[in-house]
């Protein structure tokens, strides 16, 4: 009954099998392993293009910060939602990797950037004014920190306005699989076809051990050598990269990552029903694998004593996250625990 985070789940067994499969013989280090070739082929199939470069890293913070640092110089800023993960939960990694770049925060419901606020800011900003810090990139998160999803059309709208202002478009896809399943969009539609330049493709929350993929699309590939340099410099070019490749391969092959995301989404849907049956209000619509519910009338502590794991969220709701490992029994146990609670 652990709904604390999809990061508390183990890796999917296929990932461990993949590790074992590559665990023999010598392999070139630092990204030149034969597995990297297979990952490339799988990414090409997944994104329906060959016009990309990629790099594997072991954490989402590394993926986001490295990706952004290739597009935001020290004297510029990255536009993002004021609740974005890069703002709230990465201890200033973007500032560190960019060498002093800035996050410029924008408002919006459900942690989706309000398009008008975005547009107004770009309309207002004079990039020639040397005293102020101009935007160089925009970072969208899909799923958002409130579990909501952008559609490809919404992404494209931001990307179009961004491009007109010479901004790079970054997509933090720590839970991209969940957003794809929800919207029915293909990976290509949600990314380069919508105008995304650089993607942080998260596989860890989806089911890997620790594997995220930075993908540069189209013209953004010009930054690939810089990306490798920055990865090396930041300690994100580990010697035995075959084990990162193996994780990526296991997740992408046959679209396993989307199956796992679909499972997590389904469980979140079931959780929403559990809450609805108790008459509890959700803070945001469930558009992925996260459920934000107001538990004001119940005793959260008793729920936790019963073994439920979840987090209080800014705004007064409680966050419940499902993963590939969430079972029917987990849902049933929460239903049972809730049913025994008395209203305060």
Q: Please give the helix or strand (H or E) that residue 199 lies within, else none.
A: strand 198-202
- 212 touches 201 (CB < 8 A): yes
Q: Please give the helix or strand (H or E) that residue 78 lies within, else none.
A: strand 77-81
Instruction: Restricting to residues 277-336, name those near its own copies by CB under 8 A.
Output: 309, 325
Instruction: Restricting to residues 31-90, name those near its own copies by CB under 8 A.
Output: 57-63, 65-66, 74-77, 88-90
What whole-number distance in Å separates Cα of residue 313 and Cα of residue 304? 15
Extract the tokens encoding 221. 């590939």
For its own copies, the closer of residues 10 and 276 by Cβ is 10
Q: Please give the helix or strand (H or E) that residue 53 lies within, else none.
A: strand 52-57
Does residue number 18 form part of the binding site for its own copies (CB under 8 A)? no
Does residue number 184 form part of the binding site for its own copies (CB under 8 A)? no
Q: Is the dihedral of CA 55, 60, 66, 70 positive or negative?
A: positive
Shortest CB 23 distance to its own copies, Å = 5
Shortest CB 308 distance to its own copies, Å = 12
Task: Kindly calculate the radius of gyration of the chain based on its CA atoms and give it in whole angstroms.
Answer: 20
Shortest CB 326 distance to its own copies, Å = 10
Judged by CB under 8 A, the residue of 37, 164, 229, 276 near its own copies is 229
Does residue number 155 form part of the binding site for its own copies (CB under 8 A)? no
Judged by CB under 8 A, the residue of 151, 154, 210, 306 near its own copies is 210
For its own copies, the closer of residues 13 and 218 by Cβ is 13
Does residue number 239 form part of the binding site for its own copies (CB under 8 A)? yes
Which of 8, 83, 86, 79 shows the shortest CA–CA distance to 310?
8
> Which stretch, 222-230, 257-265, 270-278, 288-296, contacts its own copies (CB under 8 A)?
222-230
Which residues fall within 8 angstroms of residue 337, CB to CB, at 6 or more apart? 1, 303, 306, 307, 308
Mark residues 86-125: x for contact with its own copies by CB under 8 A, - for none.
Answer: --xxxxxx-xx-xxxxxx-x--------------------
Bond into 58 cis (ω within 30): no
For its own copies, the closer of residues 136 and 274 by Cβ is 136
Does residue number 221 form part of the binding site for its own copies (CB under 8 A)? no
Q: Please give the helix or strand (H or E) that residue 80 lies within, else none.
A: strand 77-81
Q: How many residues bind its own copies (CB under 8 A)?
A: 74
């Amino acid at each position: 009954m652990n709904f604390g985070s999809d990061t508390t789940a183990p890796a999917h067994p296929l990932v461990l099998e993949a590790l074992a499969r590559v665990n023999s013989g010598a392999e070139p280090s630092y990204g030149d392993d034969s597995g990297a070739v297979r990952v490339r082929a799988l990414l090409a199939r997944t994104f329906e293009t060959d016009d990309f470069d990629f790099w594997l890293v072991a954490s989402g913070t590394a993926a986001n910060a490295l990706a952004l640092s290739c597009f935001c110089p020290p004297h510029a800023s990255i536009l993002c939602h004021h609740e974005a993960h890069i703002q709230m939960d990465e201890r200033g990694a973007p500032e560190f990797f960019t060498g002093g770049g800035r996050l410029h925060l924008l408002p919006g419901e459900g942690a989706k950037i309000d398009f008008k606020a975005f547009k107004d800011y770009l309309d207002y900003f004079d990039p020639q004014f040397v005293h102020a810090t101009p935007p160089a990139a925009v970072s969208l998160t899909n799923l958002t920190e409130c579990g909501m999803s952008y559609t490809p059309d919404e992404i494209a709208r931001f990307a179009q306005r961004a491009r007109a202002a010479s901004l790079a478009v970054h997509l933090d896809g720590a839970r991209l699989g969940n957003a794809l399943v929800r919207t029915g969009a293909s990976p290509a539609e949600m990314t380069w076809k919508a105008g995304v330049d650089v993607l942080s493709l998260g596989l860890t929350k989806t089911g890997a051990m620790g594997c995220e993929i930075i993908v540069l699309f189209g013209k953004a590939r010009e930054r690939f050598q810089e990306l490798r340099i920055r990865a090396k410099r930041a300690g994100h070019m580990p010697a035995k990269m075959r084990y990162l490749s193996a994780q990526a391969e296991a997740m992408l092959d046959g679209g396993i990552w989307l199956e796992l995301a679909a499972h997590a989404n389904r469980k979140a849907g079931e959780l929403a029903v559990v809450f609805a049956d108790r008459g509890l209000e959700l803070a945001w619509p469930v558009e992925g694998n996260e459920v934000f519910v107001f538990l004001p009338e119940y005793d959260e502590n008793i729920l936790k004593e019963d073994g439920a794991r979840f987090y209080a969220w800014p705004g007064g709701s409680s966050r419940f996250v499902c993963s590939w490992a969430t079972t029917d029994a987990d849902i049933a146990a929460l239903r049972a625990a809730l049913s025994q609670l008395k209203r305060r």
